[in-house]
Chains A and B, each alone.
Chain A
C-alpha cells in the first residue's frame, strides 16, 4: 500500500463526507435533505462531541495528564461567542437587570471571528491555568483543574455586568450548522493526526509513559504539557462556542462537572490515546443519549404497563464507565488507530503498519 493511495482514499472520504453534509444541510441538485431537523441536530451534536472528546483525549490520553477542566474552557468559548456575535439590540434585551459593560454593549463581529476569539481566549486561560497547575501530577492535577473549572463558573455567575449572571443569555444567533460542526470535527481530527505523528506527538507519549525518563531524554516536559493543554483549551473553547450557537441560549449551570464527565466517558470508552476510538465513542455515546430515551419512558405493551424509570440513563452510563475501566481498560480501540491498510491492504501477515 503506497502513501499515494492512502492520500487518495482520504481525499475520497473527505469528498464523500462533504457531499453528505451538503445534502443533509441544504439538499443537493434539487434533492431535499433526507434527514429532518431532529436528526441533523443529533449529527451536529455528534460532530461537536468528537472535537471536544479529541481535545480531552489530547491531554488525558496522549499526554497522560488528567484534566477535569473541560467544562470551564467550553464556558469561556461559549460566553465569548455569545457576547461577540449577538447584536446590540439582543444584548440590551438580555441585560435588563445589570447593563452590559462597555464596549461589549456596542460591538458585534462576525460569527467565525467570534468563534476564533472564543478559542483564543480559552487557550489564553488554558495558559494562565496551566502555568501553575501543570507542575502538579495525577490526582492533584485532576482536582486543581476541576477547581479552576468551578472557579470560572463561579466568576461567570457573579460578574453580572459581563455575563448576565445566573439569568444566562438568550438569542445567540444560530449559525452552527453541519458545515461548521463537521469542519470543526474534521479539522480537529486532522490536527490531531498530524500532531501525533510529529515529533511533538512522540514527545507527548513519552511524557505519558514516563515523565522522568522523558526529561532525561532531553524532552522539555513542561513545554510539551503546556502545548497540549493550551491546544486542548483552544479546541474546547471553539466547541463550546459552536454548541452555544447551536442551542441559542446559555447559562452557567450548563458548565458543571457532569458535562466534563460525559466527555470523559467518550474518551475512556474509545480508548485513552486513540483518535479513532474517540471519534467512534463520541458518535455512539451521543446517539445513545437519544436512543436510550426508551429506557426511561413508560412502556405499554398491550395490557402490560411498565412505568418508566427516570434517570436510568445516567446510571447506565456511570456503570459503563466503571465496567470499562475495570475489565476493558483499553476502551474500544486502545491506542490503535484506523488506517486504510486496515480495510484494504492484502498484506495482513506482516510488515504493514500505519
Chain B
C-alpha cells in the first residue's frame, strides 16, 4: 500500500534535488581561458588552503598566522588590494582537492598558498596543474610535491637537504662515526628524512656500516623500549629519529630511562614548545634542524616580520609562520615582476625567483620549484631552543 505521506516525501525530495542541482548551476560561463578574468575590479585574490582542523591543525594555524600577517603588512600589489581566501582542507586528501578546486573555480584566485603536510599538497597538485594556477607550499618537505609539476613551488628546503645538514653536523661537529636511525614507518616525513640522512652520513664516513641499525615503529606507538634496548647494545655515537615531536620526546625520555646517553637529533617538526614540555630535562642537548630562528634573523624582512609578529600575537614567531609569510611575499614579488594578474604569467615569474630576501633566508627557486636556502640548527638548552649555527646549501 502506498502511503500518502511517503508519496509527498518522495516528491518533495525529488523537487529539492532538482532545485539544488539547478541552484548549483550558474549561467553557462563564457568560454574561459585559464586565468582569464581572475582579477576583477580592484581586488586580486590569493587562495590559501591549510589544515585548520584535524591532525595537522596546529601547523596549519601557525602557517596561517604568518600569511595573514604578511597580508596585513603588504596588502597591495600593482595598485590593487590583495584579498586572502582561506579554505580549510581538514587534514584530508579529498577535502584538500575540494578546497583547491573551490579556490580556483568559485573564488577565481590568481595564486594559491598551501599546504602544511606534503600529502595534502600532493592532492592539490594535479588540479593546479590542470587549471594552470600556480601554488606555493610553505612547509611540505617531501620531494614528490613539486616533482614533475611546473605549477607547484615551495619556499622551504626539501628533505634531501635537511637530511644532509644533520648528517654533516653529526659527522663534523659531533665527531660521530656511527649512527642509529629510528623512523615512524607510517610518516612520510620521517621515512624520507631518515633515508637522506643515511645516504649523506654513509657518504661522509665512507663506511656502509656506519649506520648501525634502522629501527621502525608504527604511528601511535608510545612504547619504544624494545627498540631502545636494542640500540643500547649497539652503542651508537648519535641517534637520528625525526618524526612527530611527541614521539620524539617520549622516545628520548624512555632512552634516558634505559641509560642511553648518545645524543639525539631530529628535524624541523621537533621545534615545538610541547617537545620540551613533554621531554623535560631529558631532551636537554637535543639538536634539530629547522628553517629559521629568531636569533639568526639574517635579513631586513626578518626584522620587520619578527617585530610585527610579536606585536600582533605577543609571542615569538616559529618557522611555520615565517614560511607562510615568505610564501605570500614570494607570490607578491612574482606578480610585480610579471606586471600581470594572470596565473600563468605569475607562474613564469615565480619560476625565475632568484635571491629573494625572505624572512627565512635568501630564496632561489630551482628547476623543480624547490627553494635552495640555508638551514639553521637549534639545540635545547635550559628548556628553550637555542640557535647553534646556520648551514648554507652547497
- Let me know if B188 and A167 touch, CB within 8 A: yes
The 8 Å CB contact of B106, one of A38, A96, A353, is: A38
For the complex, give the distance between the alpha carbons of A33 and B31 in Å.
10
- Let me know if A249 and B122 touch, CB within 8 A: yes
- Let me know if B26 and A249 touch, CB within 8 A: no
- Residues of A near B182 (CB, < 8 A) are none
Task: Determine if A351 is an interface residue (Cβ-Cβ < 8 Å).
Answer: yes
- Let me know if B188 and A251 touch, CB within 8 A: yes
Task: Determine if B148 is an interface residue (Cβ-Cβ < 8 Å).
Answer: yes
The 8 Å CB contact of B10, one of A37, A38, A96, A338, is: A338
- Residues of B near A35 (CB, < 8 A) are 24-26
Task: Determine if A304 is an interface residue (Cβ-Cβ < 8 Å).
Answer: no
Which residue of B has the minimal Cβ distance to A290?
B98
For the complex, give the distance between the alpha carbons of A241 and B346 in Å.
35
- Binary A-proximity of B287-323 (CB < 8 A = 1, otherwise 0): 0000000000000000000000000000000000000
- Let me know if A93 and B148 touch, CB within 8 A: yes
Which residue of B has the minimal Cβ distance to A250?
B93
Shortest Cβ distance from residue B149 to the other chain A in the assembled complex, whole angstroms: 9
- Let me know if A32 and B101 touch, CB within 8 A: no
Task: Determine if A335 is an interface residue (Cβ-Cβ < 8 Å).
Answer: no
- Let me know if A248 and B7 touch, CB within 8 A: no
Task: Determine if B29 is an interface residue (Cβ-Cβ < 8 Å).
Answer: yes
Task: Determine if B6 is an interface residue (Cβ-Cβ < 8 Å).
Answer: yes
- Residues of B near A248 (CB, < 8 A) are 97, 123, 125-127
List the count of A-B residue pairs having beta carbons below 8 Å apart: 152
The 8 Å CB contact of B126, one of A20, A174, A342, A343, is: A174
- Residues of A near B104 (CB, < 8 A) are 37-38
- Residues of B near A290 (CB, < 8 A) are 98
The 8 Å CB contact of A36, one of B94, B97, B105, B192, is: B105
With A34-B27, A41-B98 in contact, do A166 and B88 touch (Cβ < 8 Å)? Answer: no
- Let me know if B57 and A310 touch, CB within 8 A: yes
- Let me know if A168 and B10 touch, CB within 8 A: no
Shortest Cβ distance from residue A12 to the other chain B in the assembled complex, whole angstroms: 14
- Let me know if B24 and A39 touch, CB within 8 A: yes
Shortest Cβ distance from residue A350 to the other chain B in the assembled complex, whole angstroms: 6
With A167-B191, A343-B7 in contact, do A310 and B28 touch (Cβ < 8 Å)? Answer: no
- Binary A-proximity of B220-257 (CB < 8 A = 1, otherwise 0): 00000000000000000000000000000000000000
- Residues of B near A253 (CB, < 8 A) are 119, 186
Task: Determine if B187 is an interface residue (Cβ-Cβ < 8 Å).
Answer: yes
- Let me know if A34 and B28 touch, CB within 8 A: yes
- Let me know if B101 and A38 touch, CB within 8 A: yes
For the complex, give the distance between the alpha carbons of A289 and B95 in Å.
9
- Let me know if B119 and A296 touch, CB within 8 A: no
The 8 Å CB contact of B191, one of A165, A174, A338, is: A165
With A251-B119, A251-B188, A296-B52 in contact, do A42 and B25 touch (Cβ < 8 Å)? Answer: no
Which residue of B has the minimal Cβ distance to A351?
B1
With A338-B10, A342-B7, A352-B1 in contact, do A249 and B29 touch (Cβ < 8 Å)? Answer: no
- Binary A-proximity of B1-45 (CB < 8 A = 1, otherwise 0): 111101100110110010011001111110100000000000000
Quick one: which of A34-83 are within 8 Å of B by CB? 34-39, 41-42, 45
- Binary B-proximity of A331-347 (CB < 8 A = 1, otherwise 0): 00000101001110101
- Residues of A near B127 (CB, < 8 A) are 248
With A158-B185, A343-B7 in contact, do A167 and B52 touch (Cβ < 8 Å)? Answer: no
Quick one: which of B184-201 are within 8 Å of A by CB? 184-188, 190-192, 195
The 8 Å CB contact of A170, one of B31, B122, B191, is: B122
- Let me know if B125 and A170 touch, CB within 8 A: yes
For the complex, give the distance between the alpha carbons of A20 and B20 in Å.
14
- Residues of B near A94 (CB, < 8 A) are 144
For the complex, give the distance between the alpha carbons of A36 and B92 in Å.
22
Shortest Cβ distance from residue A110 to the other chain B in the assembled complex, whole angstroms: 19
Quick one: which of A303-354 are within 8 Å of B by CB? 308, 310-311, 313, 336, 338, 341-343, 345, 347-353
For the complex, give the distance between the alpha carbons of A310 and B53 in Å.
5
- Residues of B near A22 (CB, < 8 A) are none
For the complex, give the distance between the alpha carbons of A353 and B14 in Å.
21
Which residue of A has the minimal Cβ distance to B97?
A247
With A310-B88, A345-B2 in contact, do A252 and B102 touch (Cβ < 8 Å)? Answer: no
- Let me know if A249 and B185 touch, CB within 8 A: no
For the complex, give the distance between the alpha carbons of A257 and B192 in Å.
25
- Binary A-proximity of B128-145 (CB < 8 A = 1, otherwise 0): 001100000000001110
- Let me know if B88 and A293 touch, CB within 8 A: yes
Task: Determine if A154 is an interface residue (Cβ-Cβ < 8 Å).
Answer: yes
With A166-B185, A296-B53 in contact, do A342 and B29 touch (Cβ < 8 Å)? Answer: no
With A38-B105, A94-B144 in contact, do A348 and B123 touch (Cβ < 8 Å)? Answer: no
With A166-B191, A352-B1 in contact, do A37 and B53 touch (Cβ < 8 Å)? Answer: no
For the complex, give the distance between the alpha carbons of A310 and B51 in Å.
10
Identify which of B97, B105, B186 gathers the most chain A CB atoms within 10 Å of its CB.
B186
The 8 Å CB contact of B147, one of A31, A45, A93, A246, is: A93
Which residue of A has the minimal Cβ distance to B130?
A174
Task: Determine if B273 is an interface residue (Cβ-Cβ < 8 Å).
Answer: no
Task: Determine if A157 is an interface residue (Cβ-Cβ < 8 Å).
Answer: yes
Task: Determine if B218 is an interface residue (Cβ-Cβ < 8 Å).
Answer: yes
Quick one: which of B78-118 are within 8 Å of A by CB? 86-88, 90, 92-95, 97-98, 101-102, 104-106
For the complex, give the distance between the alpha carbons of A62 and B102 in Å.
37
- Let me know if A311 and B25 touch, CB within 8 A: no
- Binary B-proximity of A269-303 (CB < 8 A = 1, otherwise 0): 00000000000100100010110010011000000
Task: Determine if A186 is an interface residue (Cβ-Cβ < 8 Å).
Answer: no
For the complex, give the distance between the alpha carbons of A225 and B52 in Å.
42
- Shortest 7 CB-CB contacts between residues of A and residues of B: A34-B25, A248-B126, A310-B53, A38-B105, A36-B105, A249-B122, A32-B28
Binding site for A on B (CB under 8 A): 1-4, 6-7, 10-11, 13-14, 17, 20-21, 24-29, 31, 52-54, 57, 86-88, 90, 92-95, 97-98, 101-102, 104-106, 119, 122-123, 125-127, 130-131, 142-144, 147-148, 184-188, 190-192, 195, 216, 218
Query: 5 A-B Cβ contacts within 8 A?
Result: A37-B131, A38-B106, A248-B123, A249-B123, A297-B88
